[in-house]
Amino acid sequence: MSKTNRGNFFEDFAVGQVIRHATPRTITVGDVSLYSALYGTRFAVQSADSFAQDIGYPRAPVDDLLVFHVVFGKTVPDISLNAVANLGYAGGRFLAPVYPGDTLTAVSEVIGLRENSNGQSGVVYVRSTGFNQDGVEVLDYVRWVMVRKADTSLPAPDPVIPTLPAALAPDTLGGAVPILDTDAWRTDLSGSSARFADYQVGERIDHVDGMTVEEAEHMIATRLYQNTAKVHFNQFTEGQGRFGRRLIYGGHVISIARALSFNGLANAFHVAAINGGRHVAPLFAGLTVHAFSEVLDAQELPGREDVGALRLRTVATKDRPTADFPYKSGDDYDPSVILDLDYWALIPR
Amino acid sequence: MSKTNRGNFFEDFAVGQVIRHATPRTITVGDVSLYSALYGTRFAVQSADSFAQDIGYPRAPVDDLLVFHVVFGKTVPDISLNAVANLGYAGGRFLAPVYPGDTLTAVSEVIGLRENSNGQSGVVYVRSTGFNQDGVEVLDYVRWVMVRKADTSLPAPDPVIPTLPAALAPDTLGGAVPILDTDAWRTDLSGSSARFADYQVGERIDHVDGMTVEEAEHMIATRLYQNTAKVHFNQFTEGQGRFGRRLIYGGHVISIARALSFNGLANAFHVAAINGGRHVAPLFAGLTVHAFSEVLDAQELPGREDVGALRLRTVATKDRPTADFPYKSGDDYDPSVILDLDYWALIPR
Amino acid sequence: MSKTNRGNFFEDFAVGQVIRHATPRTITVGDVSLYSALYGTRFAVQSADSFAQDIGYPRAPVDDLLVFHVVFGKTVPDISLNAVANLGYAGGRFLAPVYPGDTLTAVSEVIGLRENSNGQSGVVYVRSTGFNQDGVEVLDYVRWVMVRKADTSLPAPDPVIPTLPAALAPDTLGGAVPILDTDAWRTDLSGSSARFADYQVGERIDHVDGMTVEEAEHMIATRLYQNTAKVHFNQFTEGQGRFGRRLIYGGHVISIARALSFNGLANAFHVAAINGGRHVAPLFAGLTVHAFSEVLDAQELPGREDVGALRLRTVATKDRPTADFPYKSGDDYDPSVILDLDYWALIPR
């Protein structure tokens, strides 16, 4: 029996396989403080118990993306330790609120496999689900990663490619948010008077500010999530690799972009779903992240008068301010773009 | 309606104007741990519930300067986003203790305005007040900043320059400290046997130790305070600016100097008031901070037998040990000096 | 009276002397989060309240090494401020569990002294004990350090060299661990199915992963422990010193090695004793730590059916993967080795 985890290779996965991941993790106010200090988030609901309680939460919920990163981190040793690339996300839903003191675990099911034509690697599709200590689902999402084969002589499995939604439907949103008393939502405290009706489909918002990333910061963050992907931590081996340096966890970029988006989306307090996401290019320490958002859609939630949903594309760049909204030329991304994220955010009506 | 906060410019301020700042913030033991880890503070009252309880606190209070930074951070988006320089502080009073779990909000009133003769900018004086979740004032202080005009064609306002105290009076101190049982103050645990009577006016104390600052540290700290001033975070733009690099938040220097001052002032457990403060020169990452203090005054507190007040000038330098107390030659500061802080600290009698 | 702590010199110590150290410290979930983020630990017992409760703990205990570092940090201002070198550890026992909310204090007794033949310095042996707020001993250990003499004209004391155990006996282990229901130990959640009986004496395990250390990280860690040793923090003086840079606290290396050891020792959840430890060479920021372990012994615990003890040698290196187990050639360590640690870990049977 090998006691060291070598991770799974492409041939180790089978469609329908269910993997319960190690290590359960109790989220505490300590994690919340670190998350705040690493990204500088300012959304009032997550920042202040009093604000959250005034509108109907029992206390300030844990930031949605902190929940995402912790669940994601658990999947790494089993799913992506031998990954060549993290290709995309889809169908991510935040299903129940998480509060300090809750303990998260994660399970993944393999829902698709497709070997690459070179026979060296293949794409693995997994649906990962996060649970709290009561067995309640708090989050699920699909991601697909390209994983190396260890034994390239093995035959390719029958390809199975799951059908993934382009976007979550509005009636699937909001499970993580209690019915809110939005009359009690104080816009002086939240930082903006712009509510649901103030945003127009097609509107683009430059988030203005930029954030430079240091090696210590992204490693502290990624360890906080118990994400063990080697490329983030080991300069000795990465220094000899393709980029010559450590790669920053893509989720770190998502959280930076989300924190920057406060300036323009201060009341869009909750990430309700991740429709799709792509890490277009890697980020390295010393570079500065800027971001802009485009409103792709705006929908009421069936049966809810308190909040509406904005479908947003948030685009992050490196060393490139975003006042002119750099994105794509035809099918090609602007060379500055590092993140293209499509998600639903909830905002008071 | 612009959804992005462009900050206020000089012409946006009017004397008497009251601004309630976003984002309320619940202070937790997570914030306390981060503060401890960022500065290495060792004052026993703030470090240990048991020590605090033995002398009469319900539990360890939150470090005074963490409270200051959180309140200060809230004011930045409204007061100093377009600041050229943070010119000074005065009249700062710590009015009530803050404990983990308390939520802080902040309000500022504009109390003075004076346009500069060049018509490009002006000085804005604000009194900022921090409140807890029960509406109790925990802190107030005056600061004045030089803020750019956006429209230089606008006429100058009538100048109003507030009268500010050179120092707080002893009878205004101590509101944040319950009556203490100083017989229970164990000097072996606090790290020094020197109490109020052991300090002499005019005495100078070199705090000996030095602390080098890294980019990751000051950014983590400044984000913890939700302070959004761009100069601290964006190497891309700052690299093209006056200094070619990120400026360290002045409050970070205050906290380093205060932590260093433990070595010599171990029992001076509480910052009761900030009489005045000046960031004499900027600090950049990679430089090392040293500090010394001079006892400017020593006063009993009317009606209190438990603690006395030391008025201290703490001077911090960069890359310059302070054994010979570098300060001023005539009106000019020694080129190593970065901070000149005048405050009252309480210490057991 | 000097108000500044100059630390003790060799001639200030006497065998039998007892020193109660400043500053008591309440350990919180904030400290636990920071510890997790600094090292990326993944042992399930310390990570999740639910996992800990399922097997019989009241909640997740604080990581043993966090307890060690906090107790160690308290001893620095009195024991090793004028140390030339930290020579070794022995006889370290973890005696009672520590939970968030507990407050730690520390006391040291001088148990040995031996002046060096050059008359410039000497070795001081101390037994340091950590207590919780109820006066319960949570940890004790012996360390010996080489400390400078301030007055080299003073005569040498009679040498006293304590007898130290090569290893703790199995019947002294386990005091910090309640009787566990190891049927409830879920190996899917803990990350490995390997239990006590699966490890063989003589077996060596490469922990595969590497971790690069940044200046900000080791300073944040060392300040979290309120360890004030100057060599870790002051680039201005260290830049002029022997190495030209800051030295990383040896305990930081121990915690990195322990975190890396999860990959191969995932169920060895508790450090029960430190038989001996040596910081073979210094570590500096920018270097990458790898580690391997060798099973030196495996013992049942008298009267306990739940857990067994593995005696482990964990060796850490800098910028050198450990797949071929670099250790010693004769009496000489491989030049890559920085840590040689001999300890007992408990693991479910």
- Kindly report the nearest CA distance between residue B258 and chain A, in angstroms: 21
CB–CB contact A212 B103 (8 Å): no
Token pair of C121, please?
A: 């310095």
Find chain B residues with C-beta within 8 A of C232's C-beta. Answer: none
CB B339 within 8 A of CB B272: no
Angle at A90 between CA A87 and CA A92, to 5 degrees: 130
CB–CB contact A223 C40 (8 Å): yes
Task: Report chain C's mean pLDDT, rounded to a whole number.
Answer: 97
pLDDT confidence band for C1 (50 / 70 / 90): low
Which of A226, A272, A286 is closest to A251 using CA atoms?
Answer: A226
How many C-beta neighbours within 10 Å does residue C1 have? 6
Residue B2 pLDDT: 84
Q: Which of B42, B206, B286 sits opposite C226 (nearest CB)?
A: B42
Q: List, in sequence order, every residue forming a beta bridge with B340; answer none if it has no partner.
A: B278, B315
Q: Which residue in chain B is spatially nearest to A47 when comparing CA positions?
A: B25
Find chain C residues with C-beta within 8 A of A105's C-beta. Answer: 189
How many C-beta neighbours within 10 Å does residue C136 have? 13
pLDDT at C82 over 90: no
Which of A321, A319, A313, A227 is closest to A277 using CA atoms?
Answer: A313
Residue C84 pLDDT: 86
Residues 6+ apart with CB under 8 A from C2: none
Torsion sign (Cα): A11, A16, A20, A26: positive
The 3-state DSSP class for residue A130 equals: strand
- Low-confidence residues in chain A, pLDDT < 50: none
Find chain B residues with C-beta within 8 A of C214's C-beta. Answer: 214, 216
Q: List, in sequence order, every residue forming a beta bridge with C78; answer none if it has no partner.
A: none
HSE on the CB side for B114, CA within 13 Å?
10
Token pair of C200, please?
A: 């063989």
Find chain C residues with C-beta within 8 A of A217's C-beta. Answer: 216
Q: Which of A2, A17, A23 to mutate to test the interface with C (most CBs of C within 10 A)?
A: A23
Distance CA A47, CA A60 (A): 7
Token pair of B262, please?
A: 């433990």
Q: What is the mean pLDDT of residues C113-131?
A: 97
Q: Which residue in chain B is spatially nearest to A52 when comparing CA positions?
A: B24
Local structure of residue A301 (DSSP, 8 states): P
Token pair of A252, please?
A: 């770190």
Q: Which of B24, B26, B34 sits opposite A34 (nearest CB)?
A: B34
Phi-psi region of A236 (alpha: psi -120 to 50; beta: other; left: phi over 0): alpha
Q: What is the mean pLDDT of residues B173-194?
A: 97
Distance CA B178, CA A261 (A): 42
Residue A130 pLDDT: 98
Max CA pair span of chain B: 64
- Kindly report the nearest CA distance between residue A65 and chain C, in angstroms: 16
Query: What single letter denotes the amino acid at residue C74?
Result: K
Find chain C residues with C-beta within 8 A of B191's C-beta. Answer: 5, 22-23, 77
How many C-beta neighbours within 10 Å does residue A201 have? 12
Q: Which of A4, A30, A105 sits opposite C206 (nearest CB)?
A: A4
CB–CB contact A23 C214 (8 Å): no
Q: List, in sequence order, every residue forming a beta bridge with B146; answer none if it has no partner.
A: B85, B123
HSE on the CB side for B20, CA within 13 Å?
11
CB–CB contact C103 B50 (8 Å): yes
Q: Which of B33, B48, B190 sits opposite C34 (nearest CB)?
A: B33
Find chain A residues with C-beta within 8 A of B235's C-beta. Answer: 212, 286, 288
Distance CA B262, CA C223 (A): 14
Find chain C residues with C-beta within 8 A of A5's C-beta. Answer: 191-192, 263
Burial class (CB in 10 A: 0-12, 13-18, 19+), B101: middle
Token pair of B139, please?
A: 């802190």
Distance CA B188, CA B191 (A): 6
Local structure of residue A96 (DSSP, 8 states): S
Residue B1 pLDDT: 59
Q: Which of C5, C105, C220 sits opposite B37 (nearest CB)?
A: C220
Q: What is the mean pLDDT of residues C278-283?
A: 96
pLDDT at C341 over 70: yes
ipTM confidence score:
0.97
HSE on the CB side for A32, CA within 13 Å?
31
- In Å, what is the CA distance from C22 to each residue of B268, C75, C108, C227? 14, 8, 11, 11
- Kindly report the nearest CA distance between residue A200 and chain B, in angstroms: 12
Q: What contacts 24+ positions apart, CB below 8 Å, involve B113-118?
A: B113/B10, B113/B13, B113/B14, B113/B15, B113/B157, B113/B159, B113/B160, B114/B159, B114/B160, B114/B161, B115/B10, B115/B149, B115/B156, B115/B157, B115/B159, B116/B146
Residue A85 pLDDT: 84
In chain A, what are the domains? 10-151+165-348 (3.10.129.10)
Residue A288 pLDDT: 98
How many C-beta neighbours within 10 Å does residue B324 have? 11
Give how far the C-alpha of residue B299 lies from the chain's centroid of Cα atoms, to the nearest Å: 22
CB–CB contact C188 A22 (8 Å): yes
